[in-house]
Structure 1
């Protein structure tokens, strides 16, 4: 009975759950001071002459109901971290979103707006971009490959739009057009946030793949296709994975999905 109770506590404790994902994969927890926010990261860097795979978490426990925001957005099951843990690449970094995992006392700016209406605000993007810069500095001259889950997909695009070292973008169930998604669900707009689709032209030359679940009713495949259309078909692909929903076990499929390389198609002389 005691063993069962302890297992239940681990399942309910976000930090214990994160550790259970990270430790077997050799991902070490650390704190990154990145301007407005102190961010929690998990990293494994073993070959400085190889590219960096950097993962950005989703929105986490942003809401406890349709109308009631959470007091702590830390994900109970960190889907972005699960993807990072499934990645066999030598240099893997996972960065949690502002106010996730990091003690609130270390982040005086943390408040409900930063995991609701301001979750993609310019200062959030700047903080995530700063974290990417700090990890990229550990691998001088190496390309950065960004991967984002759900709302982390939006931030992957928004960060890539600010940088010149991003070699590829992959998103999983990515909220790449928050205005469209919010309208789809009948919830409020987020005028204080940046919308990834508005930055499509800035990432049009970056190879990218946007994965969606065929059974995802939160961020349906239409979102990825609309974004790929906005970017242009030369470098962007929208792929729908059968039998997966928004919170499905993406990590079990992730190594095979990683084998699909983002590439830009060659242009023809007529183009």
Structure 2
């Protein structure tokens, strides 16, 4: 999963190079064994055994792809938000399609046994580009956390929340989806918990760490830490993650305060490890807030 950013837009030369690489990938897919590159089929294979049904949601200028299972409307709604996907082909060459190959956020959702589960892909992932005229490279590079992106995902979330009226919402975000979860929670009053997995909770710090350009057109989750400080949250990081290292989650917890937030490091895991395998056990670690001190 790519989490490092560049400024929106690419030169004509870079566009030509990106198209060349994309054509090479298409030619490669003519060879035997390329079925693994069918990202839509992979997503459907993850979702079907979990009874997560694919839907398209027209939300705030983007048509988002979702997978949902609402079986007990009188219980809480847990919403998973995907990572950045295939945002970059290299440090300098953006992808032409950000749809994730592994769909880690969807794999987490598929391993969640709770009755009401929704997975939200990020703008321009999975949905055909023809249905998304607004889509362009900036929306999965420098503007991937822009206000209009967050508002679109929040609007889609509200559509599903209406199917579980009055119930609390629990957010889970993988990688860049962790930032989106925080930014959505800062806009709502019905979110009771946040879980992030390898979450990019401070994109300015992460971009400096990797020596890439800042993203001035995006919102940075850590700047909203005080607005989510009263929401119970757990931020999981892999001890071997050199993309979004554990220090990122700790910086966010330091900014939020430790009454409701904790950062936990999982030994032996990297950014792209099989988090879904460990997810049922990690879900047992419930986000909680410590009691407030009397008189404060």
CA drift of 1:8 comes to 3.0
Q: Tell me what 1:258 maps to.
A: 283
Distance 1:177 1:62 in 2: 18
Q: How many residues are paired up?
A: 267
1:54 partnered with 2:79: yes
> Does the C-alpha gap of structure 1 residues 7 and 250 become closer, same or farther in structure 2, counting only changes over 3 Å?
farther
CA drift of 1:268 comes to 1.9
Q: Tell me what 2:15 maps to.
A: none
**Residues 1-271 of structure 1: pairs in structure 2 closer than 5 A:** 8-269=33-294, 271=296
Distance 1:201 1:100 in 2: 30
Distance 2:158 2:229 in 1: 21
Deviations 1:170-214 (A, max 9, x none): 000000000000000000000000000000011010000000000
CA drift of 1:267 comes to 1.7
Distance 1:10 1:93 in 2: 26
Question: What secondary structure, in the 3-state scheme, does the structure 1 residue paired with 2:288 have?
Answer: coil
Q: Tell me what 2:22 maps to.
A: none
CA drift of 1:10 comes to 3.0
5+ long unaligned stretches in structure 2: 1-29
Root-mean-square deviation (CA, aligned residues, Å) is: 1.2
Q: Which runs of 4+ in 1 moved over 4 A?
A: none
TM norm structure 2? 0.89
Distance 2:36 2:66 in 1: 20
Question: What secondary structure, in the 3-state scheme, does the structure 2 residue paired with 1:49 have?
Answer: coil
Distance 2:86 2:191 in 1: 29
TM norm structure 1? 0.97
5+ long unaligned stretches in structure 1: none
